[in-house]
Amino acid sequence: MIQVDIPAAARTVFGKGESRRLRMDKKTPAVVYSKGEEALPLQFDETILYKDLLFIHGRNAVVTLKVEGDTTEQRHVLIREIQKDPVQEKVLHVDFQEIDLESTRKFNVPLRLTGVAKGVDMGGDLNVPKQSIVLQGRPLDIPDEITTDITSLERGGDGIHCGDLPIPENVKMLDNPSDVCAVVY
C-alpha cells in the first residue's frame, strides 16, 4: 500500500464565510474523524494537497498527516471523501478517517493482468469479470495491486480463478476462491 506524508495545520476558523476566506488564501479545509474522539479540523496548502491527491488517486493509500498545533505528532489516515468544485476542478474539502495500523480492515485491490493470452492470439475473446478483489489485513500489508500473467490462458480453458492469484501470506482474501478472474472464450 502506498504511504504519503502531507503537512497540515490545525484550523481555528469555522463556517461558510471563513472557509471561503481560507480558499481565497490558497488553503483547503479538511476534517479528520477518529473513533470515539472529537473531529479535528485542519487546513492544507492547496497546491501540495492537490499534488498529493493526484498521486494517490484511485489507489489504496495510507496518508500520514503531520499536523502543526496538534497534540499528536503524526496521524495515520485514509481518505473518505473529497469534495470538488464541478466547474473549476478545485478541491473544496477533504474528509479523512484515522486508522490503527495494527488492526485489520477490508480493502478493494485492483487486479492487473499482464501479457497476451494464447487463446486471444488464436481468435478468442478475453473476458475479465473481476476488476478487483477484496482483501483483509493490516493496511501496510495490503498490496497496491495484484498482478498476474495471462499468457498461458487458452481458448475454452478454465481461466484464472481468485484462488490462483498471488496473495501475500499475512493477508486474507474475502472473495470466493472459485470465482473466475479472467477466461478466454
What CATH number does the domain located at 105-184 have? 2.170.120.20
Tens digits of residue pLDDT in 129-141: 999 999 999 999 9
The reported pLDDT for the residue numbered 48 is: 87
CATH placement of domain 2-98? 2.40.240.10
Per-residue model confidence (pLDDT) at position 172: 93
| pLDDT score at 106 | 94
pLDDT of 13 strictly over 80 = no
* Inter-residue contact 69 to 61 (CB < 8 Å): no
* Residues 76-90 as b or e (16 or more Cβ within 10 Å = b): bbbbeeeeeeeeeee
Q: Where are the domains of the chain?
A: 2-98, 105-184
- Per-residue 3-state assignment (H helix, E strand, C coil) for 143-165: CCCEEEECCCCCCCCCCEEHHHC
Residue with cell 487463446: 119
Q: From its phi and psi, is residue 15 left (phi > 0), alpha (psi between -120 and 50) or beta?
A: left
43-82 pLDDT, tens per residue?
Answer: 888 888 888 888 888 788 899 988 887 778 888 999 898 8
